Structure 1
Amino acid sequence: MQRSLSRRRLIMTAAAAAATLLPAAACAKKDGEGAGGVGYAADQPPVTIDFWYMPYGGPVQDQAVVTETEEFHKAHPNITVNPVRVPWDEALTRLSTASTSGEGPDVTVLGTTWVAGFSSIGALRPYSIEEIAAVGGEDVFAKASWSSSHLITSSDITAMPWLIDIRALFYRTDVLQQVGLDPKAAFATWDSFETTLQKIKASDVGVAPLAIGLQNNFGIIHNVAPFIWASGGDLIKDDGTKSMLAEPAAIDGVSYYQRLIGLYDDPKAMALSSSDVPRAFAEGTGAITIDNSQSVAEFASDTSRAGLKAGWSTAPMPAGKAGTFGFLGGSNLGILKTAKHPEAAFEFVRYLTGKASQQRYSVNSGLWPARTEAIEGTKLATEPAYAAFREMIPHGKMYPSVSAWIIVESIIAKDLRELWSAPGALTRDQVQAIMSKTTADIDEALQDPTNTGITP
């Protein structure tokens, strides 16, 4: 702990020194250009670096990536970026192989839940204190996002926050009007939220209360976790040594969420993955769903679909007895230890985490920037449909950055499947039995510090 605190002080001191000593030099440079004695200088020979990214969407995100590589090259003519699209379902295996073969990218996108695993096997090049200071330091990023920048037991920063996946409620405004509910009150607390679902179910509005997909288990975890936290529970201990899922508070959260699914979810939505639900919601499946900010831009661009044409909006997650919580995930940027051009790679990371690139990329792709100031002057800061996400950012929480998280997540996904396949609401004892088994499985996995779920 002392090493971690000392490193944090050094980073903060270096960042303060950079802010004090470098403003004149920074003003003379284009956005994203090198400054402060780190990175890849303009007089260095031309190089090409490979950048692996995983798609959150289709052509829109692909074009956003291309735009950033082109803008970066204008500012750094001696660095060419080769963007390589890697599907999420292939990325873990390909990165595992790349971490030992030396045939991988210079810079890669990493799911926030992967950082600890790849850090623990030594696959990532740590960012130096000077590099961290050069991007502005820890405090320029959303507080929760920095927790995924390193392995929980290490002070080495191995991944820079890039994009945030923060969830909120999407709802049909016409449905709430028909059942006579004010959105602010309807979604304020767990009690009011369930009352809202009950009223929709009992009405003749012709749509099911919820649209929650149950076919991709990891998406389900992201949806249930906020209810566990809002009940005062947790998934595992903060130090990553033990499961907390069989504790009473966690049982409260899981039982509540399972009841919502069992009683109010649309059967058509149940047969879908969470990534397919936004389209189904837009076409008229369910009155309320949970999704990230990317759907705001998509829904705003086409209001002719049945679920959108009568009106839609967003709301923060309802508060439980411990308060309001939201799952916060997303993507970080890592430089592989086997990178052929690590200084040029850092220059690209610095660019992508800079304010201008973060603003442009988030507006173009609909994803939320990790750099807090980047929403200033954009539609993310002004448009009403983004208000729920602005409100949820301070309430966002990430999973603990432990080396075994990939394994833990797999266990939760597998063991909790029984909860979502139940025909209706389960009793608390039934939920307890399932969660006790899950806890035993997780505790066994956490005993082995080499059990990362990454197979080189």
Structure 2
Amino acid sequence: MFRVLAVAAVTVLAISGCAGGGDGAKETVGYAADQPPVTIDFWYMPSGGPLQEKAVAEEAKEFHAAHPNITVNPVRIVWEDALTRLSTASASGEGPDVTQLGTTWVGGFSRLGALRPYTAAEIDAVGGQTAFTAASWSSSHLIGSPDTTAMPWLVDVRALFYRTDVLKAAGLDAATAFATWESLEAALQRIQATGGGVAPLAIGNENTFGIIHNVAPFVWSAGGDLLDTAGTASRLSEPAAVDAVHYYQRLVARFNDPQVAKMINNDVPAAFAAGRGAVTIDNSQSVGDFLADPDRPGLRAGWGTAPLPAGKAGRFGFLGGSNLAILKDAKHPGAAFEWVRFLTGKQSQQRYAVSTGLWPARSEAVAGTRLETEPAYAAFREMIGHGRMYPSVAAWIVVESVIAKDFAELWHAPGELTRDQVRSILAKTSADIDETLADPGRTGIGE
């Protein structure tokens, strides 16, 4: 169940904001209460099952109560079909008014000109850039473009989960065991020796896209990066990236549960809760799941969360998630903006994001919720401050596919690889990425 807050009726829904140019002109944004009734289509992709579907329906009801002349028609799209359907809709002009977008899709759809840029007045109306988690705003536009084409909505933030009983048996304190690369590896070795048959790690190796999200923080904390700052060339063959990937591959080869290794990432949380592995990497949604159903073998004796370990360049974490975009051919752009403004507002963020276990992109929405008070969320609160998103390049969908394909050799190796072997794989990956980035029109959408 989630809490439904009453929303006061809004007398005047259009607000004024300064338009660009400094000439004192005013720009009206939104959809005024005296405008005729309209229905807008909203495409969304639930990753949390029925709970998220129910939450979207409730938000649509709350919104309509405050905006009687706007009806939202939520349309559920599965993630596996979303890219193709959005590509087709963008080309035909027959898509929704508002759509959820994965943060890594923003660059590609922006390059195609499929999204309607938010005006300066609209950005001001939602509180401006500073209202959102700093890293989230980097996914609001195509890299190098002045146009904001997607508004941050939900954040995928990750941290370590661990079994307190296994750590206690190994004589480990989570505060120090997971602090650095060195202490993490030493802790896993200790668990392997004293864990009573529980594998130190639970990491799925079959979903190579998800694995990238686990590896990237280690690359950043080693002082490396995936691409250069302009998003025009790979940096994966540089020494820092090689060090990070070699370290991560070693951990997986030495300490991973062999059955979990054959799983896709989405199946790992349930395996961890069922008792497989002492340590895993997962997002904040699993906190709510574990709290709701704690009577499982891997959870009964206690579990906790911890920030990802720091490398020589500091502590970093992967941030993903979803943004909200208005399509270029939206039939009711003013009403569409009202829906975006509502979903990114504090009250909706607290109801929807918090109730589903996702992290709100709006920073102030955390205050006074269980995300602020529940101890198991503490690691995620810290990781938000250390989070980075992938560069919002037009071809990121293709770049990610290249990394997933080439990195498969790392995860399917029969054991630990040498640094030279890892460097050779990353050199090929970098060359493949550079070839992709050399085509300025490449987006991976509709290709």
Deviation at 1:35? 3.1
SS of equivalent to 1:276 = helix
The equivalent position to 1:152 in structure 2, one of 139, 143, 146, is: 143
Gaps of 5+ in 1: 1-26
Deviation at 1:216? 1.2
Q: Deviations over 1:87-137 (max 9, x none)?
A: 111111110001011121110000000000000000000000000000000
CA contact (8 A) 1:31 1:75 kept: no
SS of equivalent to 1:327 = strand
Change beyond 3 A, Cα 1:200–1:32: farther
The equivalent position to 1:307 in structure 2, one of 295, 298, 303, is: 298
For residues 245-264 of structure 1, the aligned pairs below 5 Å read 245-264=236-255
Aligned residue number for residue 326 of structure 1: 317
SS of equivalent to 2:266 = coil
SS of equivalent to 1:125 = coil
The equivalent position to 2:131 in structure 1, one of 124, 131, 140, is: 140
SS of equivalent to 1:165 = strand
Q: Deviations over 1:36-62 (max 9, x none)?
A: 331011111111111111112111111
- Residues 1:105 and 2:93 aligned together: no
CA contact (8 A) 1:34 1:347 kept: no
Q: Deviations over 1:110-168 (max 9, x none)?
A: 00000000000000000000000000000000000000000012100000000000100
| Identity of matched residues, % | 69
- Residues 1:369 and 2:360 aligned together: yes
Equivalences, count: 430
RMSD: 1.4
In the alignment, residue 318 of structure 1 is paired with which amino acid?
P
For residues 14 and 376 of structure 2, the distance between their equivalents in structure 1, rounded to whole angstroms, comes to: 36
Deviation at 1:345? 0.4
For residues 212-231 of structure 1, the aligned pairs below 5 Å read 212-231=203-222
Aligned residue number for residue 167 of structure 2: 176
In the alignment, residue 53 of structure 1 is paired with which amino acid?
Y
Aligned residue number for residue 435 of structure 1: 426
TM-score (norm 2): 0.94
Change beyond 3 A, Cα 1:206–1:31: farther
For residues 100 and 28 of structure 1, the distance between their equivalents in structure 2, rounded to whole angstroms, comes to: 39
For residues 415-454 of structure 1, the aligned pairs below 5 Å read 415-454=406-445
The equivalent position to 2:397 in structure 1, one of 401, 406, 413, is: 406
SS of equivalent to 1:139 = helix
Q: Deviations over 1:271-328 (max 9, x none)?
A: 1111110011111111111011000000000111101111001000000111000001
Change beyond 3 A, Cα 1:348–1:169: same
The equivalent position to 2:186 in structure 1, one of 195, 200, 216, is: 195
Deviation at 1:185? 0.4
SS of equivalent to 1:399 = coil
Aligned residue number for residue 23 of structure 2: none
CA contact (8 A) 2:166 2:195 kept: no
CA contact (8 A) 1:172 1:311 kept: yes
The equivalent position to 2:375 in structure 1, one of 359, 366, 384, is: 384
- Residues 1:40 and 2:14 aligned together: no
Q: Deviations over 1:187-232 (max 9, x none)?
A: 0000000001001111242210011111111100001000000100
In the alignment, residue 15 of structure 2 is paired with which amino acid?
A
TM-score (norm 1): 0.93
Aligned residue number for residue 116 of structure 1: 107
CA contact (8 A) 1:171 1:312 kept: yes
CA contact (8 A) 1:104 1:338 kept: yes
Deviation at 1:32? 11
Change beyond 3 A, Cα 1:33–1:287: farther
For residues 131 and 453 of structure 1, the distance between their equivalents in structure 2, rounded to whole angstroms, comes to: 29
For residues 275 and 15 of structure 2, the distance between their equivalents in structure 1, rounded to whole angstroms, comes to: 51
For residues 298 and 78 of structure 2, the distance between their equivalents in structure 1, rounded to whole angstroms, comes to: 29
For residues 4-43 of structure 1, the aligned pairs below 5 Å read 30=10, 33-36=13-16, 37-43=28-34
The equivalent position to 2:333 in structure 1, one of 333, 338, 342, is: 342
Aligned residue number for residue 10 of structure 1: none
Deviation at 1:363? 2.0
CA contact (8 A) 1:186 1:192 kept: yes
For residues 62 and 339 of structure 2, the distance between their equivalents in structure 1, rounded to whole angstroms, comes to: 11
For residues 158 and 10 of structure 2, the distance between their equivalents in structure 1, rounded to whole angstroms, comes to: 34
Gaps of 5+ in 2: 1-6, 17-27
Deviation at 1:268? 1.1
